[in-house]
Structure 1
Amino acid sequence: MTVNPTHTALWPAPHASGAVAATVHVPGSKSVTNRGLVLAALAAEPGWLRRPLRSRDTLLMAAALRAMGVGIEETVSSSSSVAGGPDGSGEAWRVIPSGLGGPATVDVGNAGTVMRFLPPVAALADGPIRFDGDPRSYERPLHGVIDALRALGARIDDSAVGNPGALPLTVHGGGALEGGQVEIDASSSSQFVSALLLSGARFNQGVEVRHVGSALPSMPHIRMTVDMLRACGAQVDTPEAGGEPNVWRVTPGALLGRDLTVEPDLSNAQPFLAAALITGGRVTIPDWPARTTQPGDALRRIFTEMGGSCELTEQGLTFTGSGSVHGIDVDLSEVGELTPGIAAVAALADSPSTLRGVAHLRLHETDRLAALTKEINELGGDVTETADGLHIRPRTLHGGVFHTYDDHRMATAGAIIGLAVPGVQIENVATTAKTLPDFPELWAGMLGN
Structure 2
Amino acid sequence: MSTVPTWAAPHVQGALDARVRVPGSKSLTNRWLVLALLADGPSTLRHPLHSDDSRRMVDALRALGAGVDDDDPAAWVVRPPWGGPRGDVDIDCGQAGTVMRFVPPVAVLADGPVRFDGHPSARARPVGPVLQALRDIGASVLDEGRGTLPFTVEGPLPQAPAGGPPTVLVDASASSQFVSALLLSAAAYPHGLRVQHTGPTLPSLPHLQMTVATLRAAGVPVEQPGAASWLVPACPVRALDVVVEPDLSSAAPFLALAAATGGRVLVADWPAATTQPGERMRDVLAAMGAATELTAEGLLATGAAGGRLAGVDFDLSEVGELTPVVAALCALAGSPSTLRGIGHLRGHETDRLAALVAELTRLGARARELPDGLAIEPGPLTGCRVRTYHDHRMAMFGAVVGAVVPQVEVEDVATAGKTFPGFDRAWEQAVGSVRPQSRAG
What secondary structure sits across from 1:174 in the alignment? Answer: coil
Q: Deviations over 1:372-429 (max 9, x none)?
A: 0000101111111111101111101001110010000001001100011011110111
Q: Distance in 2 between matches of 1:233 and 1:102?
A: 27
CA–CA distance in 2 between the matches of 1:54 and 1:17?
Answer: 31
| Number of the residue aligned with 1:285 | 267
1:303 aligned residue: 285
Counterparts of 2:223 and 2:269 in 1: how far apart (Å)? Answer: 30
Which residue number in structure 2 is paired with residue 423 of structure 1?
407
**Normalised TM-score (structure 2):** 0.94
- Correspondence 1:221 to 2:207: yes
Counterpart in the other structure of 1:16: 12
Given that 2:395 and 2:415 are in contact with CA atoms closer than 8 Å, whether structure 1 keeps it comes out as: yes
Alignment of structure 1 residues 68-79 onto 2, 5 Å: 68-76=64-72
Matched ranges for 1:364-375 at <5 A: 364-375=348-359
Q: Distance in 2 between matches of 1:121 and 1:340?
A: 32
Farther-moved stretch of structure 1 (134-143 vs 306-315): 306-315
Structure 1 consecutive aligned stretches of length 4 or more whose deviation exceeds 4 Å:
175-179
Shift of residue 176 of structure 1?
Answer: 7.5
> Contact 2:101 / 2:178 at 8 angstroms: preserved in 1?
yes
Kept in 2: contact 1:176–1:203 (CA 8 A): no
Task: Compute the displacement of 1:315 (Å).
Answer: 1.9
Once the two structures are superposed, residues 212-255 of structure 1 have per-residue CA deviations (whole angstroms, 9 ceiling, x without a partner) of 111100000000000000000001012xxxx2231111111001
Alignment of 1:15-414 (within 5 A): 15-76=11-72, 84=73, 91-98=74-81, 99-159=84-144, 164-174=146-156, 178=160, 180-238=166-224, 243-322=225-304, 323-414=307-398
Work out the CA distance in 2 between the residues paired with 1:177 and 1:33.
31
Task: Tell me, yes or no, if the aligned pair for 1:181 and 1:208 is still in contact at 8 Å.
Answer: yes
SS at match of 1:17: coil
Preserved contact between residue 19 and residue 276 of structure 1 (Cα < 8 Å) = no
In structure 2, give the amino acid aligned to 1:225.
T
Q: Which amino acid aligns with 2:260?
A: I
How many residues are aligned here?
425
Cα deviation for residue 171 of structure 1 reads 1.0
**Per the alignment, in what secondary structure is the counterpart of residue 379 of structure 2?**
coil
Say if 1:127 and 1:175, in contact at 8 Å, map to a contact too.
Answer: no
Alpha carbons 2:403, 2:431 under 8 Å: kept: no
Give me the whole-angstrom Cα distance separating, in 2, the residues matched to 1:263 and 1:205.
32
1:18 and 1:305 map into 2 onto residues whose CA distance is: 25
| Unpaired segments ≥5 residues, structure 1 | 77-83, 85-90
Cα distance in 2 between the residues matched to 1:233 and 1:353: 44
Query: Which amino acid letter does the alignment assign opposite residue 30 of structure 1?
Result: K
C-alpha deviation, 1:259, in angstroms:
0.5
Query: Which SS does the other structure have where 1:48 is aligned?
Result: strand
TM-score by length of 1: 0.93
Which string of whole-angstrom CA distances, capped at 9 and with x for unpartnered residues, describes residues 256-299 of structure 1? 01111000000000110011001111111111111111010001
Letter in 1 for 2:20: V
Mapped contact 2:139–2:157 kept (Cα < 8 A): no
State the AA in 2 paired with 1:408.
Answer: H
After superposition, the C-alpha distances for 1:49-71 in whole angstroms (9 at most, x for unaligned) are 00000000000000011001011
Secondary structure, aligned partner of 1:126: coil
Change (3 A) 1:421 1:177: farther
Contact 2:138 2:157 in 1 (8 A): no
Residues 406/176 of structure 1: CA separation in 2 closer, same or farther (3 Å cut)? farther
Distance in 2 of aligned mates of 1:28 and 1:155: 35
Report if aligned partners of 1:129, 1:173 keep a CA contact under 8 Å in 2.
no
Report the AA paired with residue 194 of structure 2. E
The answer to whether the 8 Å contact 2:106/2:185 transfers is yes
| 1:257 partner letter | A
1:429 partner amino acid? V
Q: CA deviation at 1:20?
A: 1.5
CA distance, structure 1, for counterparts of residue 222 and residue 153 of structure 2: 26
The CA deviation at 1:175 is 7.5
Q: CA deviation at 1:177?
A: 7.2
Partner Cα distance (1:315, 1:126) in 2? 48
Tell me the secondary structure at the aligned position of residue 20 of structure 1. Answer: strand
Rounded to whole Å, the distance in 2 between the matches of 1:164 and 1:328 is 38
1:123–1:176 Cα contact (<8 Å) kept: no
Structure 2 regions of 5+ residues with no counterpart?
434-441
